[in-house]
Amino acid sequence: MWSLARRPGAATQTGAMISVLLPAKRFIRSAQRALAAAVTLVLTAALPAASAGGREYWLPPLESPLQVSGEYRPPPTPYASGHRGIDLPAAPGDGARAPVAGTVSFVGRVADRHVLSIRVDSRTVVSFEPLEQAGNGLAEGDAVARGQAIGQVAGGGHCLAECLHLGVRVDDAYVNPLQYFYSRPVLLPW
């Protein structure tokens, strides 16, 4: 610690200390502001609030918070390979729920996997695979409430026995499903 005692060079040492501390304080304040902005950004992005259009953000379909193990990777052309949805870590037998209200538009097998699709509105369909129905499960035309149980994760498909694949189509074109679960990041003023 610097002392302000009267001795030769004390004023020079104090001036040097002030000239070093002022930029350091400014740096710390800038870092604190940046950290606060980043925390606000993350918290705002994770809030399940309504968007400007009044649409509610979807619930995570599994009982845990939304975790993505396989990202959406759109193909360069409609017929090229890509990953037209997201993968959520899950094991066979895990329960799944409807992230949004809608009407069941498809229940059945596609190739080697059980698929369930829910029509959200006239333009939007959300699909889950592999997801099988137990007992008197859902059928085409059934209304589904937001948060309602819709089936159990099964094995098969590209996930094998480690995930639930979720895809969203708008006007028959696949889109990134994450836009329905998170709001766009917004920086709040100080």
Domain range summary for the chain, segments of one domain joined by +? 8-47, 86-180
Query: Which has more confidence, 142 or 54?
Result: 142
Q: Was domain 86-180 assigned CATH 2.70.70.10?
A: yes
Asked if the model's pLDDT at residue 44 lies above 50, the reply is no
Under the banding of pLDDT at 50, 70 and 90, the label for residue 166 is very high
The number of beta carbons lying within 10 Å of the beta carbon of residue 137 is 17
Summarize the confidence of residues 145-157 as an average pLDDT. Answer: 92
Summarize the confidence of residues 14-43 as an average pLDDT. Answer: 49
Per-residue pLDDT at 53: 42
Q: Give the predicted TM-score (pTM) of the model.
A: 0.68
pLDDT digits (tens, 9 = 90+) for 109-136: 998 889 999 999 999 999 999 999 877 7
Under the banding of pLDDT at 50, 70 and 90, the label for residue 9 is low
The span from the CA of 111 to the CA of 113, in Å, is: 6
Q: Which residue has the tokens 């229940």?
A: 107
Per-residue pLDDT at 132: 92
Whole-angstrom CA distances from 121 to 127, 165, 169, 182 are 13, 21, 11, 19
Query: Which has more confidence, 96 or 33?
Result: 96
Per-residue pLDDT at 179: 93
Asked if the model's pLDDT at residue 56 lies above 70, the reply is yes
Whole-angstrom CA distances from 138 to 20, 66, 112, 134 are 69, 24, 19, 9
Please, is 87 exposed, middle or buried when counting C-beta atoms within 10 Å of its C-beta (0-12, 13-18, 19+)? buried
Identify whether the C-beta of residue 81 lies closer than 8 Å to the C-beta of residue 174.
no
What type of residue is 190?
Answer: W
Per-residue pLDDT at 40: 37
